[in-house]
């Protein structure tokens, strides 16, 4: 039996990188997948086709989780289309890096809205269904930067540290209803975004990692499968660093 057979998952920001890897891993483990995307209809359609080919139900929704009303509407549509929600993966995120002295208020606010406020919006929107079911798994994507900070990323670090504090509070609030909330903090993961970095920059990162390589989206996806499944039934309120030992 597959680990997520028949479960229904919402994944935000799933058309590329880590989100896409999670969607595919979930479908491979039998989960039906509802996912959001911001702009690329073609990428969303391609992902739906790939997921359906794995034998599950899948649908993409163009939605901005940073907007409270849009998150509420999305959850209503998913419930109408899929009938239930078992798992929420808050993965959508952006960066607008700059030194603090050069960082604009708009760039600070935008990163907080997408990376942190969206987690509040989506968690609040699915909470009602999970409370009624008396079960659920919420997995929020932070970053090693949210754990240790990083020069030039004050906005990103603040948003990702906020995700950790929020998740621990949700775990305490909802644990008695068998709703678990955990955090994954990825390290240096090789995606389309990191593919644009100069070779010497990438080498500088990987040399500092004990495993001497960057991670793959599948590394994050596998941790998500574990936290979404019954294999982690007694784990909540935790931060799992998937970073090749970077923070060791």
157 marked as part of a ligand binding site: yes
Q: With b meaning 16 or more CB within 10 Å and e meaning fewer, what string describes 118-146?
A: bbbbbbebbbebbeeeeebbbbbbbbbbb
161 marked as part of a ligand binding site: no
87 marked as part of a ligand binding site: no
156 marked as part of a ligand binding site: yes
16 marked as part of a ligand binding site: yes
38 marked as part of a ligand binding site: no
13 marked as part of a ligand binding site: yes
91 marked as part of a ligand binding site: yes
Counting beta carbons within 10 angstroms of the beta carbon of residue 201, is it exposed (0 to 12), middle (13 to 18) or buried (19 or more)? exposed
Those residues whose C-beta lies under 8 Å from the C-beta of residue 41, and which sit 6 or more positions away, are: 62
Those residues whose C-beta lies under 8 Å from the C-beta of residue 120, and which sit 6 or more positions away, are: 166
In the chain the first and final C-alpha atoms are separated, in Å, by 35
Where do we find the tokens 């002295």? 101
Region for 6 from its dihedrals, namely left if φ exceeds 0, alpha if ψ lies in -120 to 50, beta otherwise? left
Distance separating alpha carbons of residues 224 and 28, to the nearest angstrom: 13
Where do we find the tokens 């960057």? 214
160 marked as part of a ligand binding site: yes
143 marked as part of a ligand binding site: no
Helix 154-174 / helix 105-112 crossing angle, nearest 10 deg? 30
From the candidates 61, 68, 156, 234, give the one annotated as an active-site residue: 156
Give the pairing type, strands 136-141 and 179-186.
Answer: parallel
Distance separating alpha carbons of residues 30 and 46, to the nearest angstrom: 19
Is 156 annotated in the active site?
yes
Q: Could you tell me which residues are annotated as the binding site?
A: 13-16, 91, 156-160, 189
Question: Which are the catalytic amino acids?
Answer: 156
Q: Could you tell me which residues are annotated as the binding site for NADP(+)?
A: 13-16, 91, 156-160, 189
């Amino acid at each position: 039996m597959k680990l997520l057979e028949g479960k229904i998952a919402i994944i935000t920001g799933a058309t590329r990188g880590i989100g896409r890897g999670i969607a595919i891993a979930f479908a491979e483990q039998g989960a039906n997948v509802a996912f959001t995307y911001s702009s690329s209809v073609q990428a969303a359609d391609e992902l739906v086709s790939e997921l359906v080919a794995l034998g599950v139900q899948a649908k993409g929704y163009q939605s901005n989780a940073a907007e409270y009303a849009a998150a509420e509407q999305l959850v209503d549509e998913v419930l109408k289309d899929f009938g239930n929600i078992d798992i929420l993966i808050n993965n959508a995120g952006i960066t607008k890096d700059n030194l603090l002295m050069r960082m604009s208020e708009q760039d600070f606010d935008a990163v907080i809205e997408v990376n942190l406020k969206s987690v509040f919006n989506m968690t609040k929107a699915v909470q009602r269904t999970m409370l009624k079911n008396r079960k659920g798994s919420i997995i929020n994507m932070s970053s090693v930067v949210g754990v240790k900070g990083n020069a030039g990323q004050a906005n990103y670090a603040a948003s990702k540290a906020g995700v950790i504090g929020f998740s621990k509070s949700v775990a305490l609030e909802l644990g008695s209803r068998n709703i678990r909330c955990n955090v994954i903090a990825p390290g240096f993961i090789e995606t389309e975004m990191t593919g644009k970095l100069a070779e010497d920059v990438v080498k500088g990162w990987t040399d500092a990692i004990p495993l001497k390589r960057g991670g793959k989206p599948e590394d994050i996806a596998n941790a998500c499968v574990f936290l979404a499944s019954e294999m982690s039934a007694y784990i909540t309120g935790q931060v799992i660093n998937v970073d090749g030992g970077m923070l060791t």
